[in-house]
Structure formats: C-alpha cells, structure tokens
Structure 1
Amino acid sequence: MKTIVIIGGGAGGISTANHLSYKLREKIEANDVKIVLIDPSRFHYYQPGFLEIPFGLMGQEETYREMNEVLAKGITFLQEKAIKIDLENRNVTTEKGQVKYDYLVIATGARYDYSAVPGFTEGADHFYTLEDSKTLKTKLNKFNEGTIVVGVSSMPYKCTPAPLEAAFLLHDMFKSRRLLDKVKIIYTYPMPMAFPDKGISDIALRMFDQRKIESNLDFKVKLLDTKSKELVSSNGTKIQYDLAIMTPPHRGSELIANSGFGDQFDWISVDKFSLNIIGHEDAYAIGDATNLQLSKSGSVADGEAIIVSDRIAQEIDGLSPYSLYDGSGGALMITGIGMASMISSNYTMAPMFMPESYAFYWLKLIYNKVYWNMTAKAVLTGVSK
C-alpha cells in the first residue's frame, strides 16, 4: 500500500487531499492507497472572509466548517500537531507518534511572527485571524474620529491585495456613516509602490487620490511606539495613529524550523514547476509554505494542489509525472462597498487588473457562499462525500 501524507494548516491541505481522493478513489477502495491528512485543527477556515467580518460583509460563523464536513470519502484525518519531518527516512513525527509515508505534501501555510516588530502585539490590530477580525470589528464600530493607518509590516504576506481592500472599505464605511471629515486614512507599504506590481500600484494610487486616502510608501516598519501611538520606520520616519491596522510579519511554519530544511525565514525551497522540495522527488510543498515569488493566496495554493495531486497520481499509475504548475493565480479584489476587480497572473504574465465593476463585487459575495461546496470539496473535478 502506498501512503500519501498531507500536512495541513493552510488552504492547500484540504484541496490536495480531496483532489487525490478523487483521482485515486479506485485504488483507495482497493486498499492500494491510503491518504492521511495531519492537521491540529478540527476546523477548516475560509481565511478571505476574515477581512470582510469587520465591515459586515460576512458573518464569523460563515468562515469555518468542521474538517469532516469538507473532507471527501476515503481520507484518514489525524487531528494532531506535526512536530518534525524526516525527509530522508520518509517519516513525520506528531505529538502522538510516527507516520511513515511514500509521498508527502506540506501545506502548512504561514505563521505570524509578532515579535519581529516590537510593539506590534500591544499596538496593532489586524484581520488575519478570526479572533483578531472580531476585535477589529468592535473597534471600528466605536471609531468616530482620528487617524487610521492601514499598512504592511513586512514582505511577504498573505493575500497581496488585502491591505488595499481594507483601505477602500474603510473609506466607504466612514462615508456611509458621514464621518469622512473626521477620519483620516493613511496607507503604508514597505516598497516604493502601493502594490508589488507597478501597473496595479499606479491604479491604486489614482483611486487613493479620488478618495483622499493618503499614502506613505517605502515605509519599513521598525516598531510601534504604543506610548506616543506612533509607527516608526527603519529610517526614523514617524506616523501618528489612533488605530493601526497592520499585516503581521509572516514566516514559515514552526514545523519547518524544527525540521531544518527551510531557509532563514522557514520557507521551503521548491522547484517552481514540479513543486517538489528541492532534492526530494517524493515530497512536495505548496501554498504559503514555499519560497516561490508568488502571491500567498488561496487561489495559488489550490492551483498548486491540483498539479501536485496530478503528479502523485501519475506516478502511482506507473507514469513519469508530467503535470507542471504555470504560476497561475488570481483574486477578486474589493475596491469599495458594491465594487470589485479581478487580478490574475502567471509566470509569464504580469498581474492584470480588470476594470472594477458591480458584477465582480457580487461574484465575490457569491464565491464566499459557494467556496465550501466548490473549492474546499474540489467539486469541479468530481469530488463528493
């Protein structure tokens, strides 16, 4: 029997498991293949929804489901924390024991390294966890006057357009409450642009001008001075704030740090096309866990999950794996209440920003609802309970 172990924690774990269960369902039924998902959480979270909770666009209960509700038939779910991976001996150590594998897929996502920016825990708010999103919603509902800074603490971070979306949503929230004359919104970014792509950055800056949102670019956050309520950059520039909504510093999983094969920030080096961990044809990494220069987003993780599940299935079927990832990814980016755009890119195409429209906004809201039965369950490839 071939054992495929998937270590979850990010968006790609569920997707990979479900795609593999479909492609190998006959071999699973014949006990020739076993798929094991290891994840410490009993819930799967729809993380894009965390941004929308503070603005009333999504309810907190809509952003998570029990793992067993979204896992396809034939998958063994171990609700355990993986502690160490031995790539040479094909072994995963969990808090409860050892799990041997023939193929490994690491989809652990990213972790938040709050200690990387002094004062972040005490001085900043964000929407990158369910609890922090709920806290931010409470604070925004009570905020009637002052300066809100929306910024990125460091690169890389999950969902590249999210800080832009937050700035636009803040503008429309306070516009609807007739408080724009009392609230100043400032956007900071650690690059000389408002977005990693200059074309999209130029569009965003024009939209800022139309909304009178200020921007402070190339602002590399050094610390948050919670006494004076100031953001301090690495070159000494300071920005006064009443509410700081900042992306937390990101780095790779603690599991990768413990296993010793990540880079200095615990990201995993993979081949950009095969997604194999460098030097290991029986092991893959996808999504936020890798060091690929791609958007850390659910669409990228899902696209990579399809390729990895194809390659493993091809090899188990006796073929030389031939499916290759082309870097495709995309996102529906909210540009305000009632408006959104679509961003898409791949290895050979720079990010493309499609004109904002009411239709894209509603497509975003619809996708929030159908995610559980379309993407999470990989229903488009025939996966079912």
Structure 2
Amino acid sequence: MLFLRPDFELPCVGASTAGLRSAVRAFVADEIAGGRITPRCNSWTESLAADFSRRLGERGWIGYHWPTQYGGRGGTAFDTLTINEELLAAGAPVGAHWIAARQSAPLLMRFGNEAQRQEFLPGIAAGTTYFGIGMSEPDVGSDLASVRSRAELADGRWVLNGRKVWTSGAHLCHYAIVLCRTAPADPKARHAGLSQLIVDLKAPGVTIRPIRMLDGSHHFNEVIFDNVQVPTERLVGNAGDGWKQVSSELAYERSGPERFLSTMPLVERCLQLVLAGPAAVGDIAAGRLLARLMTLRNMSLGVWGALGAGQSPAIEAAMVKDLGTNFERDAIEVVREAMTADPRVAGDEALAQLMADALPLSPTYNLRGGTNEVLRNMIAKNLQGK
C-alpha cells in the first residue's frame, strides 16, 4: 500500500509546473472573459465543447506528457495533472476529450500495439478524436467480472453482441473501448476470458440510447451491440488480457482530480463570498472543506507519481475516488446550508446557478467509476492481504 509505506514522500511539483499553471490559468480566464466558455460544475461530464478541446490540443495541453511521436510534448505526468487541475477548478468544458485523454490513451500506450497508437493517439492529443468507456452493464454494475457482452471470431473478424450502460458521451464519441467475453466464463477463474475491443460507434449494429438526468441533461447512454463486426486488429493486447488492462485503466479513472474537483467552481465561488465579508462561524466549515481538499490533492499526487513510474496503484486510486466523491457531496451540502444561513453567501446569483448545475448530479458521484461499497471491499481485502 503506497500510503502506508514509511518511505513514502509526496512529489515536489510546485516550482517545476508554476509557469505552465499560470499559462493555463490565463488562457481559461481569457476564454471566460471573451464569452467563449461558461464555467460549470461537473465540466468533465456535462460540458462537451469540441472547439474548446481543439484549442487545447493546438496548445499541446492534451496529453502533454506523452511522447512527441504520439502528439504529446514530452512533459511529465505532473505537467498533465497541473493542466487538468486548472481546467477542472475553472469549470472549463473538457468533456469532449476527457475520457479519451485520461483513460483510453494511457491504455493504448501501455497495452496497445504501435499501429493503434499511431492511429488514435495523435487525434486524441489534437482534441479531435473522442472515446467512450464500455465497461458497466445492466444488472452487473461495478462487478465487471460478470459482464455478459460477448465477442466471437467469425470469418476473420470479431462479432460483438451485448449492452453497456452509463457510457458518458457515447452519442458524441467516435470510438469506445469495450470490455467483453471472448472465452466462456469459468466460475473458478471469474476474471479470465475477458478482452477489450476498440469499437467504431458509427459501425452497423451499434445503437446509442440516451439516459437523461433529473434535469433533462444528457451525457449518459445505453449502448447496444447487435452483431457488430470488429476487425481483429482492433483487439487491445492479447485475447484474455482484459481484466489486467481494466485494473490498470481504472487507476487512471479513479485517481484523477475530477474525483474531488468536479464541484470546485461552486466551492471557490462560496469561498470568494466568505472571504469578502467579516469573519463568522461559517468560516470553520469552509476551513474543514479546504483541509479535506488539500489532503485529497496530496493523495492524488502520490498516485500520479506511482502511475508515472509505471506502477498500477489500483487500491490507492480506489481510496482517492471513495474519499473524493464523498467530499464532493459534502461540499454541496455545506454550500447549500451557507446559502440560507450565511448572509455573506445568500442571494448570490452566480452561486445559485452553480448549485443548480451540481445538485441534480450529486447522487451519481458515489456511483460513477465504481460504487463506494465495491471500492471499500477492494480496499479492505487488500489491507487484509487477501
């Protein structure tokens, strides 16, 4: 366990990334001032703006730490983390490219072949190629070993059948990386026989149905695969390696700053109002939020350091996700209480709009990326050495 090691030290990244952080912050401020973007909570799921993603790609700010032959700038993992922190904290519309850059590209970099890297990574870095995740299924939830989608080889191609749910942005994405069974299930080895395929979401047999939120917004989808033909060269790695790949992939999904910065525009606006007035009892709650936020950021830094070193800190990432999503829900409640009880905060229209964005989605925080109950089982088993 990374966080229990006596020699564990947080990476020092402030000085090395200060210039990049200032540049991103200035760029986003100019985008907001020019009316090209509007800050929102949950911007990595709710705000999909292809033009903005393309402008980031032109500056090299998607996949900044990737090798240059794949469209990156050869920076460090902490450079990319710095960029992502600034974009999320500002509520910038990063949803179009987010999953492709955060998750799909690292997967292909580690497990894909060179042809796949050359085909997909430059487009992701340019902010013009988008990916969805095909993991969760109806009646399966976070138990990915129970997936029922199947792919069978026929006439030199994989033929895929099944359903996926909660696929963010599938209606706008070009591809999805789909976890499926390519061998019969074995009750004694539940994780065997799983593979991942890169599926063209415009291919015949793919149907995408919207799953709408309480407020009518749409970023979740159900994706149905009906005899979808997938070229054999779109298999990621080797057949049967799907579970190993997913375990690595989820470390990127669960440890990122989006797990505790989704509501940061709301928290920041509230703190601005609090600091503008005289001290009051509500400052204690604000201080507690900031203390939790800094703890989570330090944990995320530790996980990103391990990822950058080629490790797969899946359990540590699960801890960040569990604590981070609880923080986000608690932050909403603290701000909501302040909006009625703290005269420094009450009546602010900008804060009310951010709350209207964040509140309807708050029930999903502990679900997306794996339910907290499942994650806690994983953590407990690891601590028990099982």
Which TM-score band (shorter chain)?
under 0.3
Query: Which protein is richer in helix relative to its size?
Result: 2
TM-score with structure 2 setting the length: 0.26
TM-score with structure 1 setting the length: 0.26
Query: Which protein is richer in strand relative to its size?
Result: 1
